[in-house]
Amino acid sequence: MIPRILIVAGSDSGGGAGIQADIRAVTMLGGHAMTAITAITAQNTLGVQAVHPVPPAMVAQQMTSVLDDIGVDAVKIGMIGSAAIAETVADLLEPLDVPIVFDPVMIATSGATLADDATIAAFRRLMRIATVVTPNLPELAALGGEAAVLAHGGYLLAKGGHAEGDMVVDRLIGPQGVLAILRGPRIDTRHSHGTGCTLASALATGLGAGLPVEVAFARAVRLVRAALAAAPGLGAGHGPIGHTLGLVPFDMLEDECPA
């Protein structure tokens, strides 16, 4: 059966990140994408001009409508919008026995703040129910570091795109230590909008299809790197990556999977 992926995240009017990127990533990897939109944003490649959170009751209704009829094999959580929405989402997801990927979105690629202090505090509950948490390095620091995230019992996908150097190193870490490391040359482009959303949704699709977490991790990172290389160059700022990959090679990094 096609993996059914519920995406709980905000909408990006510019089509680069958020629900729009999530749907494309899930579709590219053969899943069926379903959505519960937490916030409506007015944004483009230059930044976020406005954010309008969706009422928590409406977020809950979107989720319930999907869960009661179509069902779900995995969940991806992205931009939350408010602390109240975070609590609502946690209430509905806690009883489920499916993989949950939590991308703790705090700041957009353009630098716009997408989560206030109360919302970030509410992330702790979402981390407790998550199978994998996928922060970039600034987000990981804001969450208290690797030990704080791993204390919740799931996996940590520590993204390395914000680090210095010519190589990008992404690590999959479990309670017992590092499970896999993926290294690849840094792709020099300002068109990187949507990488985090794409990675988390791709990972959720792999887990929803029953792949081992290490395999789903490697496939998700490869998709992001190929999409970065295929970025169409839209807009005057941080443009979207290229989910429609064309002829871009899908194998652009080295695997390191410690025993």
Left, alpha or beta for 54 (phi > 0: left; psi -120 to 50: alpha)?
beta
CATH number at residue 101: 3.40.1190.20
CA 124 – CA 119 distance, rounded (Å)? 9
Per the structure, the complete domain to which residue 42 belongs is given by 4-256
Rg over alpha carbons for the chain, rounded to the nearest Å, is: 17
Per-residue pLDDT of the chain (259 residues; tens, 9 = 90+): 899 999 999 999 999 999 999 999 999 999 999 999 999 999 999 999 999 999 999 999 999 999 999 999 999 999 998 899 999 999 999 999 999 999 998 766 556 556 677 888 888 899 999 999 999 988 898 889 999 999 999 999 999 877 778 899 999 999 889 999 999 999 989 999 999 999 999 999 999 999 999 999 999 999 999 999 999 999 999 999 998 875 445 555 556 655 4
Stated as kind and residue range, the H or E segment containing 141 is: helix 137-142
The answer to whether residues 108 and 21 touch, using CB atoms and an 8 Å cutoff, is no
CA 20 – CA 78 distance, rounded (Å)? 12
Q: How many domains does the chain have?
A: 1
Neighbours of 190 (CB within 10 A): 14
Residue 36 is encoded by which pair of tokens? 């519960």
